[in-house]
């Protein structure tokens, strides 16, 4: 059971917008720790998608956006494309565990 909670799966048609939630606790996201998001394409290593809640690394399309509020965060993907089909993970820090923590991952299916 992961410290951060994500829905196991989401889906959307090409061109649509989907959101993936990431729920933590008062010792993780709620304590003010930033949330970061990773994209893992099949058979590959995770790749940084969003850092510091809402910042995109160079090369990441602006179709991807992140936000944080209270004990939760969200990743939004607009204008869905077939190549967006992947697993998405959120990451933060939990002070009660003194550890970086991940969500269980969300599999995005593009219909």
CA distance 61 to 63: 5
Selected binder of another protein within 5, 46, 63, 72 (CB under 8 A):
46
Closest contact distance (angstroms) between CB of 69 and another protein is: 19
Site track for another protein across 5-44, x = CB under 8 A: ----------------------------xx-x-x-----x
Candidate ranges 13-21, 65-73, 76-84, 97-105; the one touching another protein (CB under 8 A): 97-105
C-alpha–C-alpha distance, residues 31 and 28, integer Å: 5
Angle at 89 between CA 15 and CA 59, to 5 degrees: 60
Interface residues with another protein (CB under 8 A) are 2, 33-34, 36, 38, 44-48, 51-52, 57, 89, 91-93, 97-105
């Amino acid at each position: 059971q992961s410290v951060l909670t994500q829905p196991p799966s989401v889906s959307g048609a090409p061109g649509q917008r989907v959101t993936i939630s990431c729920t933590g606790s008062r010792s993780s996201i709620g304590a003010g720790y930033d949330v970061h998001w990773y994209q893992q394409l099949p058979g590959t290593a995770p790749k940084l998608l969003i850092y510091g809640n809402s910042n995109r690394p160079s090369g990441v399309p602006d179709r991807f956006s992140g936000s944080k509020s209270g004990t939760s965060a969200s990743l939004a993907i607009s204008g869905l494309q077939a190549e967006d089909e992947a697993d998405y993970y959120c990451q933060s820090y939990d002070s009660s565990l003194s550890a970086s923590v991940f969500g269980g991952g969300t599999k995005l299916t593009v219909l």
